[in-house]
Amino acid sequence: MKTPPSRTCLGCRRARPQAALVRLVRLTNGTVVVDGGTRAAGRGAYLCPDAECIKRGLSRGRLGHAFRKPSEAGPNLAAAVRAAARLEARAAPAEASPAGALLCEVSARAIEDVDVITVRS
Ligand SMILES: [Zn+2]
Distance 58 CA to ligand 1 centre (A): 11
- Does the domain spanning 6-110 belong to CATH 3.30.1230.10? yes
What phi and psi values does residue 29 have, to the nearest 5 degrees?
-85, 5
Is the pTM higher than 0.85? The answer reads no
Distance 47 CA to ligand 1 centre (A): 6
Residues of the chain with pLDDT under 70: 1-2, 37-42, 91-121
- Nearest partner of 33 among 2, 58, 4, judged by Cα: 58
Distance 29 CA to ligand 1 centre (A): 26
- 47 neighbors 88 (Cβ within 8 angstroms): no
Distance 2 CA to ligand 1 centre (A): 23
pLDDT at 69: 94
Query: For residue 9, what are the β-bridge partners?
Result: 46
